[in-house]
Structure 1
Amino acid sequence: MTAMTPDDLEFLQRPLHGFLTVSTAQPRPVWFEATGDGLIQLFSEPDALKVRRARRDPRASIVVAAPVGERERWVSVAGRVSIEPDGAHDLAARLAPRYWDLDDPVRAADLEAILKGDLVRLVIHPETVRRYAY
Protein backbone atom coordinates (compact mmCIF):
# COMPACT_ATOMS: atom_id res chain seq x y z
CA MET A 1 0.00 0.00 0.00
CA THR A 2 1.61 3.30 -1.02
CA ALA A 3 -1.12 5.89 -0.42
CA MET A 4 -3.01 7.02 2.62
CA THR A 5 -6.73 6.40 2.67
CA PRO A 6 -9.27 9.01 3.80
CA ASP A 7 -9.63 6.95 7.00
CA ASP A 8 -5.84 7.15 7.56
CA LEU A 9 -5.90 10.93 7.07
CA GLU A 10 -8.81 11.32 9.52
CA PHE A 11 -6.90 9.29 12.14
CA LEU A 12 -3.68 11.24 11.55
CA GLN A 13 -5.43 14.59 12.01
CA ARG A 14 -6.01 13.81 15.69
CA PRO A 15 -3.67 15.23 18.36
CA LEU A 16 -1.57 12.09 18.65
CA HIS A 17 2.18 11.82 18.94
CA GLY A 18 4.01 10.24 16.06
CA PHE A 19 7.26 8.34 16.51
CA LEU A 20 9.75 9.48 13.89
CA THR A 21 12.74 7.39 12.83
CA VAL A 22 15.37 8.90 10.56
CA SER A 23 17.89 6.54 9.02
CA THR A 24 19.23 4.36 11.85
CA ALA A 25 18.27 6.72 14.68
CA GLN A 26 16.10 5.66 17.57
CA PRO A 27 12.48 6.87 17.29
CA ARG A 28 11.49 10.12 18.96
CA PRO A 29 7.97 11.38 19.74
CA VAL A 30 7.12 14.35 17.52
CA TRP A 31 4.26 16.64 16.66
CA PHE A 32 3.22 16.14 13.05
CA GLU A 33 0.62 17.07 10.49
CA ALA A 34 -0.85 14.90 7.75
CA THR A 35 -1.57 17.12 4.78
CA GLY A 36 -4.59 16.71 2.55
CA ASP A 37 -2.35 15.43 -0.24
CA GLY A 38 -0.96 12.64 1.94
CA LEU A 39 2.37 14.08 3.08
CA ILE A 40 3.55 14.10 6.69
CA GLN A 41 5.27 17.21 7.95
CA LEU A 42 6.92 18.21 11.19
CA PHE A 43 9.35 20.86 12.39
CA SER A 44 12.72 20.80 14.11
CA GLU A 45 15.81 22.84 14.85
CA PRO A 46 18.15 22.70 11.82
CA ASP A 47 21.05 21.30 13.87
CA ALA A 48 19.02 18.56 15.61
CA LEU A 49 20.39 15.03 15.29
CA LYS A 50 17.35 13.86 13.31
CA VAL A 51 17.90 16.65 10.76
CA ARG A 52 21.63 15.95 10.46
CA ARG A 53 20.88 12.26 9.89
CA ALA A 54 18.17 13.07 7.34
CA ARG A 55 20.68 15.19 5.41
CA ARG A 56 23.01 12.17 5.20
CA ASP A 57 20.32 9.57 4.49
CA PRO A 58 16.86 10.85 3.52
CA ARG A 59 14.92 7.78 4.63
CA ALA A 60 12.39 8.28 7.43
CA SER A 61 9.34 6.67 8.94
CA ILE A 62 6.68 7.65 11.41
CA VAL A 63 4.33 5.42 13.37
CA VAL A 64 1.23 6.87 15.00
CA ALA A 65 -0.78 4.76 17.46
CA ALA A 66 -4.12 5.26 19.16
CA PRO A 67 -3.84 5.96 22.90
CA VAL A 68 -4.54 3.47 25.65
CA GLY A 69 -8.25 3.09 26.19
CA GLU A 70 -9.11 3.04 22.50
CA ARG A 71 -9.20 0.03 20.25
CA GLU A 72 -5.77 -0.87 18.89
CA ARG A 73 -4.89 1.07 15.77
CA TRP A 74 -1.79 2.41 14.10
CA VAL A 75 -0.60 3.86 10.81
CA SER A 76 3.02 3.64 9.66
CA VAL A 77 4.37 5.84 6.86
CA ALA A 78 7.85 5.40 5.37
CA GLY A 79 9.56 7.25 2.57
CA ARG A 80 11.99 9.93 1.55
CA VAL A 81 12.20 12.99 3.79
CA SER A 82 12.96 16.45 2.46
CA ILE A 83 14.22 19.32 4.60
CA GLU A 84 12.43 22.54 3.72
CA PRO A 85 13.67 25.96 4.86
CA ASP A 86 10.20 27.52 4.86
CA GLY A 87 6.90 26.89 6.62
CA ALA A 88 8.23 25.48 9.91
CA HIS A 89 7.16 28.41 12.08
CA ASP A 90 3.63 28.40 10.64
CA LEU A 91 3.47 24.64 11.16
CA ALA A 92 4.61 24.92 14.80
CA ALA A 93 2.02 27.63 15.46
CA ARG A 94 -0.69 25.52 13.82
CA LEU A 95 0.22 22.34 15.73
CA ALA A 96 0.68 23.85 19.20
CA PRO A 97 -3.05 24.11 20.02
CA ARG A 98 -3.48 20.42 19.10
CA TYR A 99 -1.00 19.39 21.77
CA TRP A 100 -0.99 22.20 24.35
CA ASP A 101 -3.53 24.39 26.12
CA LEU A 102 -2.30 27.80 24.98
CA ASP A 103 -4.48 29.53 27.60
CA ASP A 104 -1.85 28.24 30.03
CA PRO A 105 0.72 31.08 30.21
CA VAL A 106 3.60 28.61 30.60
CA ARG A 107 2.67 26.80 27.40
CA ALA A 108 2.06 30.09 25.58
CA ALA A 109 5.57 31.19 26.59
CA ASP A 110 6.96 27.82 25.47
CA LEU A 111 5.40 28.33 22.04
CA GLU A 112 6.73 31.88 21.85
CA ALA A 113 10.24 30.55 22.54
CA ILE A 114 9.87 27.89 19.85
CA LEU A 115 8.69 30.47 17.32
CA LYS A 116 11.70 32.71 18.04
CA GLY A 117 14.09 29.89 17.19
CA ASP A 118 15.53 28.78 13.87
CA LEU A 119 13.38 25.96 12.48
CA VAL A 120 13.17 23.76 9.39
CA ARG A 121 10.24 21.73 8.13
CA LEU A 122 10.71 18.02 7.48
CA VAL A 123 8.35 16.47 4.93
CA ILE A 124 7.95 12.71 4.56
CA HIS A 125 6.96 11.72 1.02
CA PRO A 126 5.23 8.35 1.55
CA GLU A 127 6.51 5.33 -0.34
CA THR A 128 5.00 2.72 1.99
CA VAL A 129 1.92 3.06 4.19
CA ARG A 130 0.91 0.25 6.51
CA ARG A 131 -1.92 0.18 8.98
CA TYR A 132 -3.50 -1.99 11.64
CA ALA A 133 -6.88 -1.71 13.29
CA TYR A 134 -8.43 -4.22 15.68
Structure 2
Amino acid sequence: MTALTPEDIEFLGRPLYGFFTVATGAVPPQPRPVWFEVTAGRTVELITEPGAAKVRRLRTDPRASLVVTTEVGERERWVSVAGRTSIESEGAHELTNRLAARYWDLGDATRAAELEAMLGADLLRVVIHPEKVTRYSTT
Protein backbone atom coordinates (compact mmCIF):
# COMPACT_ATOMS: atom_id res chain seq x y z
CA MET A 1 0.00 0.00 0.00
CA THR A 2 1.31 3.46 -0.83
CA ALA A 3 -1.03 5.74 1.12
CA LEU A 4 -1.55 6.50 4.76
CA THR A 5 -5.00 5.47 5.95
CA PRO A 6 -7.11 7.58 8.32
CA GLU A 7 -6.24 5.04 11.05
CA ASP A 8 -2.53 5.48 10.29
CA ILE A 9 -2.85 9.26 10.50
CA GLU A 10 -4.67 9.03 13.83
CA PHE A 11 -1.97 6.71 15.20
CA LEU A 12 0.86 8.91 13.86
CA GLY A 13 -0.79 11.93 15.47
CA ARG A 14 0.22 10.61 18.88
CA PRO A 15 3.43 11.96 20.46
CA LEU A 16 5.43 8.82 19.73
CA TYR A 17 9.02 8.64 18.59
CA GLY A 18 9.73 7.59 15.04
CA PHE A 19 12.85 5.68 14.06
CA PHE A 20 14.32 7.30 10.95
CA THR A 21 16.66 5.39 8.65
CA VAL A 22 18.37 6.60 5.48
CA ALA A 23 19.18 4.30 2.55
CA THR A 24 22.89 5.09 2.33
CA GLY A 25 25.33 4.95 5.17
CA ALA A 26 26.44 2.37 7.65
CA VAL A 27 25.70 -1.28 7.02
CA PRO A 28 23.58 -2.38 8.75
CA PRO A 29 21.46 0.82 8.76
CA GLN A 30 21.39 2.71 12.03
CA PRO A 31 17.96 4.20 12.78
CA ARG A 32 17.72 7.30 14.93
CA PRO A 33 14.75 8.35 17.07
CA VAL A 34 13.09 11.55 15.84
CA TRP A 35 10.10 13.78 16.37
CA PHE A 36 7.83 13.84 13.32
CA GLU A 37 4.55 15.21 11.98
CA VAL A 38 2.14 13.99 9.30
CA THR A 39 0.98 16.89 7.13
CA ALA A 40 -2.41 17.56 5.57
CA GLY A 41 -0.79 16.50 2.27
CA ARG A 42 0.05 13.12 3.87
CA THR A 43 3.78 13.59 3.83
CA VAL A 44 5.85 13.02 6.97
CA GLU A 45 8.18 15.76 8.20
CA LEU A 46 10.98 15.94 10.72
CA ILE A 47 13.65 18.47 11.68
CA THR A 48 17.40 18.22 11.61
CA GLU A 49 20.52 20.35 11.59
CA PRO A 50 22.20 21.05 8.22
CA GLY A 51 25.45 19.32 9.27
CA ALA A 52 23.80 16.07 10.34
CA ALA A 53 25.02 12.85 8.76
CA LYS A 54 21.48 12.09 7.60
CA VAL A 55 21.48 15.25 5.47
CA ARG A 56 24.75 14.30 3.77
CA ARG A 57 23.45 10.80 3.13
CA LEU A 58 20.08 12.00 1.84
CA ARG A 59 21.81 14.33 -0.63
CA THR A 60 23.54 11.21 -2.03
CA ASP A 61 20.48 8.95 -1.96
CA PRO A 62 17.15 10.53 -0.99
CA ARG A 63 15.45 7.30 0.10
CA ALA A 64 14.49 6.91 3.76
CA SER A 65 11.99 5.30 6.09
CA LEU A 66 10.33 6.05 9.38
CA VAL A 67 8.93 3.38 11.70
CA VAL A 68 6.63 4.38 14.56
CA THR A 69 5.56 1.94 17.25
CA THR A 70 3.36 1.93 20.32
CA GLU A 71 4.78 2.43 23.77
CA VAL A 72 5.86 -0.47 25.96
CA GLY A 73 2.85 -1.98 27.68
CA GLU A 74 0.44 -1.22 24.85
CA ARG A 75 -0.82 -3.74 22.32
CA GLU A 76 1.73 -4.09 19.53
CA ARG A 77 1.21 -1.79 16.58
CA TRP A 78 3.52 -0.09 14.14
CA VAL A 79 3.43 1.88 10.90
CA SER A 80 6.34 2.18 8.47
CA VAL A 81 6.54 4.93 5.85
CA ALA A 82 9.22 4.68 3.15
CA GLY A 83 9.92 6.89 0.16
CA ARG A 84 11.99 9.62 -1.36
CA THR A 85 12.76 12.67 0.72
CA SER A 86 13.21 16.33 0.03
CA ILE A 87 15.25 18.67 2.20
CA GLU A 88 13.60 22.03 2.78
CA SER A 89 15.01 25.13 4.42
CA GLU A 90 11.67 26.91 4.73
CA GLY A 91 9.31 26.14 7.59
CA ALA A 92 11.77 24.31 9.83
CA HIS A 93 11.38 26.66 12.80
CA GLU A 94 7.58 26.57 12.56
CA LEU A 95 7.72 22.77 12.50
CA THR A 96 10.06 22.83 15.49
CA ASN A 97 7.55 24.91 17.45
CA ARG A 98 4.71 22.51 16.63
CA LEU A 99 6.76 19.43 17.46
CA ALA A 100 8.05 20.85 20.75
CA ALA A 101 4.48 21.65 21.81
CA ARG A 102 3.46 18.10 20.89
CA TYR A 103 6.32 16.31 22.68
CA TRP A 104 7.15 18.60 25.60
CA ASP A 105 5.38 20.53 28.33
CA LEU A 106 6.44 24.03 27.30
CA GLY A 107 5.23 25.38 30.63
CA ASP A 108 8.37 23.76 32.03
CA ALA A 109 11.07 26.47 32.05
CA THR A 110 13.82 23.99 31.17
CA ARG A 111 11.94 22.73 28.11
CA ALA A 112 11.05 26.27 27.05
CA ALA A 113 14.74 27.23 27.23
CA GLU A 114 15.69 24.12 25.22
CA LEU A 115 13.17 25.13 22.56
CA GLU A 116 14.59 28.66 22.41
CA ALA A 117 18.07 27.22 21.90
CA MET A 118 16.78 24.97 19.12
CA LEU A 119 15.09 27.93 17.42
CA GLY A 120 18.39 29.83 17.52
CA ALA A 121 20.05 27.20 15.34
CA ASP A 122 19.90 26.61 11.61
CA LEU A 123 17.38 23.86 10.99
CA LEU A 124 16.06 21.96 7.99
CA ARG A 125 12.88 20.03 7.34
CA VAL A 126 13.19 16.53 5.93
CA VAL A 127 10.01 15.57 4.10
CA ILE A 128 9.26 11.92 3.36
CA HIS A 129 7.03 11.49 0.31
CA PRO A 130 5.43 8.09 1.00
CA GLU A 131 5.90 5.46 -1.70
CA LYS A 132 5.27 2.46 0.54
CA VAL A 133 3.32 2.24 3.79
CA THR A 134 3.22 -0.96 5.82
CA ARG A 135 1.64 -1.62 9.14
CA TYR A 136 1.05 -4.22 11.83
CA SER A 137 -1.46 -4.34 14.63
CA THR A 138 -2.53 -6.99 17.13
CA THR A 139 -5.90 -5.30 17.61
TM-score by structure 2 length?
Answer: 0.94
Structure-2 residue corresponding to 1:7 = 7
2 CA distance for matches of 1:128 and 1:27?
Answer: 18
Give the deviation of 1:101 after TM superposition. 1.1
- The C-alpha deviation readout for 1:68-90, integer Å capped at 9, x for no partner, is 12110000000001001101000
User: Which one of the candidate residues 99, 109, 116 is aligned to 1:95?
Assistant: 99
Q: Could you tell me which amino acid in structure 2 is paired with residue 109 of structure 1?
A: A
1 CA distance for matches of 2:38 and 2:115?
Answer: 21
Q: Provide structure 2 residue ranges, at least 5 long, that are not aligned to the other structure.
A: none
1 CA distance for matches of 2:56 and 2:108?
Answer: 33
Q: How many residues of Structure 1 are paired with residues of Structure 2 in the alignment?
A: 134
Q: Could you tell me which amino acid in structure 1 is paired with residue 71 of structure 2?
A: P
2 CA distance for matches of 1:106 and 1:122?
Answer: 26
2 CA distance for matches of 1:78 and 1:84?
Answer: 18
CA contact (8 A) 2:18 2:68 kept: yes
Give the alignment's Cα RMSD to 1 decimal: 0.8
Q: Could you tell me which amino acid in structure 2 is paired with residue 76 of structure 1?
A: S
TM-score by structure 1 length?
Answer: 0.97
Q: Taking every aligned residue pair, what percent have the same amino acid on both sides?
A: 66
1 CA distance for matches of 2:10 and 2:44?
Answer: 13
5 Å-filtered alignment, 1:49-128, equals 49-128=53-132
Report the 3-state secondary structure (helix = DSSP H, G, I; strand = E; otherwise coil) of the residue aligned with 1:91. Answer: helix
Could you list the structure 1 runs, at least 4 aligned residues long, displaced by more than 2 angstroms after superposition.
none
